[in-house]
């Protein structure tokens, strides 16, 4: 379902991206950087309310840049010798990094949406693997699943002891509001920002993650050195959930 609002947002995104690339080509000072593609940029393009959303070179979002920065800094460790389940693998820089793992599994409920080699169908509601993965990554996925508490338990089971789930969701600062697929799509779009979202998360997602049995560390971009966060235009919050050993 495509609404006028989303078309306008997408058009604005392409326009500001073109302007930024033209400015760089004309010699504007590129004094910002993108940790997803490693290039210098003159700024980031707008998307919706976020004036510094995308990298004009590679398109990386604030959350994609945050993940790359945390990995580069060594604050997150890539399990190169391990197994990685990468849901909704649409962030190219992370596909490149995660696919270096010995056992890389890119997956989605609808794998046809992702031009990633070997992408397979995984329904998180049905995920029944046990103790296989060292890392589970899902950015903007949990707000799509019918029962996130069940999915969090499935993720916990699928991880090896000590394995980690790196979770990012759209957040507001109010408590989480749950919906369902029984609601009309238009109502989901109005309440949760997108027709295929069934809830809007607040900071209390942390409670749901802990209730599933994880240890949790939250890494919010606002806790990073402001000069660094500004340079890379980092944003978003990572819920770093660890399966106890």
Site string for Zn ion, 45-84 (x = CB under 5 A): ----------x-xx-x------------------------
Give the nearer residue to Zn ion in terms of CB position, either 55 or 241: 55
Three-state DSSP at 132 gives coil
Among 24, 32, 33, 34, binds Zn ion (CB under 5 A): 34
Alpha helices in 146-197 (DSSP H): 148-158, 185-192
Question: Quick one: which H or E segment has residue 89?
Answer: none
CA distance 177 to 194: 14
Residue 37 makes contact with Zn ion by CB under 5 A: yes
Q: Give the total of residues touching Zn ion (CB under 5 A).
A: 7
CB of 137 to Zn ion, least distance (A): 19
Tell me which H or E stretch contains 9.
helix 4-25
Q: Between 37 and 105, name the residue whose CB sits nearer to Zn ion.
A: 37
Of 16, 17, 32, 36, the residue at the interface with Zn ion (CB under 5 A) is 36
When asked if residue 233 is in the footprint of Zn ion (CB under 5 A), the reply is no
Q: Is 159 in the site for Zn ion (CB under 5 A)?
A: no
Contact 82, 60 (CB under 8 A): no
Cα gap 236→245, rounded to integer Å: 28
d(CA 144, CA 131): 24
Footprint on this chain of Zn ion (rule: CB under 5 A): 34, 36-37, 55, 57-58, 60
């Amino acid at each position: 379902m495509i609404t006028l609002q989303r078309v306008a947002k997408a058009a604005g995104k392409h326009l500001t991206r073109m302007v930024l690339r033209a400015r760089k080509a004309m010699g504007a000072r590129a004094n910002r950087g993108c940790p997803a593609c490693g290039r210098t940029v003159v700024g980031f393009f707008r998307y919706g309310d976020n004036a510094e959303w995308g990298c004009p070179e590679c398109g990386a979002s604030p959350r994609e840049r945050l993940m790359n920065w945390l990995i580069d800094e060594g604050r997150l460790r890539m399990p190169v010798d391990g197994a990685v389940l990468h849901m909704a693998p649409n962030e190219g820089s992370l596909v490149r990094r995660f696919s270096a793992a010995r056992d890389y599994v890119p997956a989605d409920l609808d794998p046809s949406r992702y031009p990633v080699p070997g992408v397979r169908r995984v329904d998180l509601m049905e995920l029944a693997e046990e103790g296989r993965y060292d890392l589970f990554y899902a950015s903007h996925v949990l707000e799509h699943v019918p029962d996130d508490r069940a999915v969090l338990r499935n993720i916990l089971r699928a991880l090896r002891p000590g394995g980690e789930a790196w979770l990012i969701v759209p957040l507001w600062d109010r408590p989480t509001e749950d919906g369902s697929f029984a609601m009309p799509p238009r109502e989901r779009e109005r309440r949760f920002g997108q027709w295929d979202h069934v809830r809007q998360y607040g900071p209390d997602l942390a409670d749901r993650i802990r209730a599933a049995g994880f240890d949790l560390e939250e890494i919010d971009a606002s806790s990073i050195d402001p000069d660094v966060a500004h340079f890379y235009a980092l944003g978003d919050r990572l819920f770093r959930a660890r399966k106890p050993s």
